[in-house]
Amino acid sequence: MNKQLSIQAKLAILVVFAVMFAATMIALSVRTHNKDDGHSAPWGSDKKIEKTFSVQPNGKLILDADEGTISISGTESNEVSVQVTARGSDDQLRKFNVTFDQEGDRVKVEGRLRNHHFNFFENNSINVHFEIQVPKKFNLDVQTAGGDIVVQNIEGTIEGETSGGDLELTKVGGSIKMNTSGGNITVQNATGSVFLETSGGNMRGESINGTIHMETSGGNIELKDSDGKLDASTSGGNIRVAMKDNKGIDLSTSGGNLVVRLPKSISAEVLAEATGGEVSCDFPFAGKLRDGSLRGTINGGGNPIKLETSGGDIVISSVE
């Protein structure tokens, strides 16, 4: 009798969990469907907010948003121009608010969605986009809880963070420090100090000149046509770099291949370790190459090149 009750109790528990799981899937399906199909959700009119501030170059924009993608571009104008477009249900639009504050050449913008942490099962959603123009020489401190960040044609101190979107930087210079918790990062035509991190995306860079730091917890890293001291690491992908010179290179991966392409004229002191893989080098070098390890110098020695992988091969090749 007790055994039969035990079986019935277990069945009852399984049924309860099955019902809860089904309810969760239905809620997610409805939420996703409403987000993608504007005709099936109770969409209201777009909410548009515009504001313009007179500033001087080398000022600062601070943007903190609960929702939304962010696009910022530099212009020759001495103005900060902000255009915010929100689209969603009437209820969500009423909950979304943008505030502005200016102190001298410092402009602060905040986008807040009331109770946005508790909207998981609601039959509502909201899409927000910040389109901003600033003077070409300007400083940025931008954050969004879940959208992409795009920055172009700006020189200054550029800091930014997104909790789940991509980062795209084009024609930027100065001190750059940006990260994403789960998106990809793309950089083109950057100068200065470039510090970039993602918790799980791929990273691509082209024509970066300066000090370069690139780190991802689970993606590939590709860098080409760049020049500067380089530090790059990934916990589970490949790294491929093509540099114009050797100003110091430190690359590491826990589970991929490392490929480094450099001009024939470079000089270097090389330490390459491939645990479980092979090391190849087509530069003439003085030193030892054996058992997945290379220790030696190229053209008499120079800035260090340190390469390490725990599960792949290392290739050091020369280019014209």
What the block records as the tokens of 254 is: 């826990």
What average pLDDT does range 172-195 have in this prediction? 97
Give how many domains the chain has, as a whole number: 3
Average pLDDT over the chain, rounded to an integer? 88
* Phi, psi (deg, nearest 5) at residue 116: -70, -15
User: Would you say residue 165 lies in a domain?
Assistant: no
105, 126, 150 - which closes a domain: 150
Give the tens place of pLDDT for each residue, 138-169: 999 999 998 999 999 999 999 999 998 999 99
What is the per-residue pLDDT for 82?
98
pTM above 0.95, yes or no: no
Tell whether 114 and 134 lie within a shared domain: yes
User: Would you say residue 163 lies in a domain?
Assistant: no
Tell whether 234 and 291 lie within a shared domain: yes
What the block records as the tokens of 151 is: 């920055």
What is the per-residue pLDDT for 41?
36
What average pLDDT does range 250-270 have in this prediction? 96
Tell whether 240 and 307 lie within a shared domain: yes
User: Would you say residue 164 lies in a domain?
Assistant: no
pLDDT band, very low/low/confident/very high, at 28 (cuts 50, 70, 90): very low
Tell whether 49 and 36 lie within a shared domain: no
Show the domain range for 2. Answer: 1-40
Give the tens place of pLDDT for each residue, 120-139: 445 457 999 999 999 999 99
Tell whether 133 and 145 lie within a shared domain: yes
Give the tens place of pLDDT for each residue, 60-90: 999 999 999 999 999 999 999 999 999 999 8
User: Would you say residue 176 lies in a domain?
Assistant: no
User: Would you say residue 51 lies in a domain?
Assistant: yes
More confident residue, 39 or 287: 287
User: Would you say residue 171 lies in a domain?
Assistant: no
Tell whether 50 and 139 lie within a shared domain: yes
Which segments within 32-148 are labelled E, that is strand? 47-54, 60-65, 69-75, 79-88, 96-103, 106-113, 126-135, 139-144
| CB 61, CB 138: distance < 8 Å | yes
User: Closest Cα to residue 162, out of 71, 270, 273?
Assistant: 71
Distance CA 102, CA 105 (A): 7
User: Would you say residue 102 lies in a domain?
Assistant: yes
> CA torsion, points 90, 96, 102, 105, in degrees to nearest 10?
-100
Tell whether 63 and 34 lie within a shared domain: no
Position 242 pLDDT exceeds 80: yes
Residue 217 pairs in a beta bridge with none
Distance CA 117, CA 134 (A): 31
Tell whether 16 and 74 lie within a shared domain: no
Tell whether 59 and 26 lie within a shared domain: no
What is the per-residue pLDDT for 11?
52
Tell whether 296 and 190 lie within a shared domain: yes
Tell whether 206 and 318 lie within a shared domain: yes
Tell whether 3 and 76 lie within a shared domain: no
User: Would you say residue 168 lies in a domain?
Assistant: no
What is the per-residue pLDDT for 156?
98
Position 258 pLDDT exceeds 60: yes
pLDDT band, very low/low/confident/very high, at 218 (cuts 50, 70, 90): confident
Per DSSP bridges, beta strands 96-103 and 47-54 are unpaired
